[in-house]
Chains A and B, each alone.
Chain A
Amino acid sequence: MPNGQTHTAEPSRDFDTVLIANRGEIALRILRACKDLGLKTVLVCSQADRQARYGALADTSLCIGPASAGKSYLNKDAILLAGRLTGAGAVHPGYGFLSENAAFSAAVEDAGMVFIGPTAESIAIMGDKIAAKSAMIAAGVPCVPGPDSKLPDDLAAVEAIASEIGYPVIVKATGGGGGRGMRVVPDAGALHEAIAVTREEARQAFGSPALYMEKFLQHPRHIEIQVLCDVHGNAIWLGHRDCSMQRRHQKVIEEAPAPGIAPDVIGLIAAACVRACLQIGYRGVGTLEFLYEDGYFYFIEMNTRLQVEHPVTEMTSGIDIVQAQIKSARGIPLDIVQADVTVDGHAFECRINAEDPTTFLASAGTITALTLPSGPGIRVDTHVHASYKVSPYYDSLIGKLIVHAPSRAEAIVKMRAALAETEIEGISTNLPLLRRIFDDNGFATGCTDIHYLEKWLKQRSAS
């Protein structure tokens, strides 16, 4: 897509050493991508991860702080110092931690290193829900009905906005995310309290009481579009995913492509996404998330980073998204155009979490035995092994099981077999839950909405 006259990003500098500012499976995934590209790696870790076996695969492994993420993986100064000490030319933030922190992106670049991700400005725009919505509307990306401005303090004016949108509405913190700082308002009677509570929550959790309001969609699916941009005004989209199987706003299973959506319909939305990326001078990889209901798409937010579920798109597009991201950061122009991007077959990803499959309480401890599936079309992204000690300090994700097959039905069969082969002993995992979901007829039929899993779990616990 050789266009992008409006592109403003500065060309990135080249580098030969990447500092990986993350842990677990994504640190290992990035490390492997760097090796494939002939780049040297510096892996920073906390004291809790010092003994992790994957650390030995890096050219340099450096402990930067205690187990607490705030003093290690979220410690900007410690990471920048590590970059200086090791001569790293770039920092890859992975996902989570500092990956969507605009100040960190700026600090890395100010320190003379390349941030493998978008500019601080892009992150800041997309981190502000109102600014993001404005940018999307400007590019013709459909958004959820509701004003692209913060709610006024005057409650009468807020009432008028809610009436115009039509109940139910959802009130969200402009600086929120991850399912926090939002509240559904079913009718006018519940509006005042919802505004007051959410405003206070937003003030405390995100440092700003600013709220905005949107139409609350009742049975949407979560569909997202993966984009890839270089710093020369080229941008493409690599496919779409369905991540509707969620519990408490946390994705459990993802798949690509999203079933039941015609290519020409998604193609129009994706083209608008690419346009939006070019207009804001976006660089690297990103994901635009949508709610999809009754045949319409509604933009909700953009994740300005690599995502946990990127492998399903890698499987269907044949493109190594992490390598592509790093190449973009090095200033290498995209070597493919949109017409080269294909969607081949169907892929699923199961997030394997160290948690109780019924109570969902995190489970820390030592993995005493581990059997992972293998064979054609099966991929496991994980950093754990038998004798690995699952730390209580971090996210419970211990691995991702990904399958790829010619069709969705065949991919389901393959995932069932792969899950049956998988055995993890010594800690509790959500494997039993994942197996049950893949045996569920509703899920197998496809097109389930974002509330399906929660309702399904409630029904099972009641019966």
Chain B
Amino acid sequence: MAETAERIMSGADFSDPAVIASLAAALEVAGVDGIEIEQGARKVRIVVEHGVLGAVSQVNASQRNPATAHSSAVKAPMAGIFCRDHPASFTPPFELPREVVPGDTLGFLRVGPVLLPVKASGTGILTRSLAADGSLVGYGEPLFEIEPCP
């Protein structure tokens, strides 16, 4: 959890309700009761009351049951180096979970000079990124996990 928190703290805007919602959903899935994050002079405290997070509109984590949900994997279409972001992009990494629709670019595969976008093939909730940024991945290797929308 510390690692997740550190990643989130590094670039997230906690004044954005969507970020809070995403974070709360992640905590719910992880089974964590609460978290306190300090970012400069600002402090955010989230307390999770498991099972009542229906208010999270972007990702309704409470309705996802990892054990029973029919999650699907977005797999590497070929061997390459996995890149979370486009090298020329200055956009901060997206937070998980998040809703995706077909055609959404989830990441990239670098094969020599070619940068191949990895796209979502269906609608759902992108819950996990499975490959480390910069790692070598093989054909068919699961890169992302997508659960059906509730």
Residues of A within 8 A of B (CB): 45, 47, 50, 60-66, 72, 78, 81-82, 84-86
Contacts and interface: CB of A to CB of B under 8 A. Distances in A.
Interface stretch (B24-32, B62-70, B78-86): B78-86
| Top 8 closest pairs, chain A to chain B, by CB | A63-B138, A63-B139, A62-B138, A47-B140, A65-B139, A64-B79, A84-B112, A62-B79
Chain B CB within 10 A, most for which of A50, A66, A85: A85
B136 A78 contact: no
B111 interface: yes
Contacts of B138: 45, 50, 61-64
A65 B79 CA distance: 8
Given A81-B112, A84-B112, A66 B79 contact: no
A64 B139 contact: yes
Contact of B140 (A66, A84, A86): A66
Contacts of B139: 47, 63-66, 72, 78
B136 A86 contact: yes
Interface bin, chain B: 10 to 19
Contacts of A63: 79, 138-141
Contact of A50 (B81, B111, B140): B140
Given A81-B79, A81-B80, 16 more contacts: A45-B138, A47-B139, A50-B138, A62-B136, A63-B138, A63-B139, A63-B140, A64-B139, A78-B79, A81-B111, A82-B79, A84-B112, A85-B79, A85-B80, A85-B81, A85-B111
Interface string B129-140: 000000010111
A129 B124 CA distance: 58
Interface centre among B79, B136, B140, B141 (most CB of A within 10 A): B79
A72 B138 CA distance: 12
Chain A CB within 10 Å — which of B81, B112, B140, B141 has the most?
B140
Contacts of A84: 111-112
A65 B81 CA distance: 15
Nearest to B111: A81
Contacts of B111: 81, 84-85
A63 B139 CA distance: 5
A189 B25 CA distance: 84
B46 to A, nearest CB: 40
Interface string B69-80: 000000000111
A47 B76 CA distance: 12
B82 to A, nearest CB: 11
Nearest to A81: B111
A63 B136 CA distance: 10
Contacts of A82: 79
Contacts of A45: 138
29 contacts: A45-B138, A47-B140, A50-B138, A50-B140, A60-B136, A61-B138, A62-B79, A62-B136, A63-B139, A63-B140, A63-B141, A64-B78, A64-B79, A64-B138, A64-B139, A65-B78, A65-B139, A66-B139, A66-B140, A78-B79, A81-B78, A81-B79, A81-B80, A81-B111, A81-B112, A84-B111, A85-B79, A85-B80, A85-B111
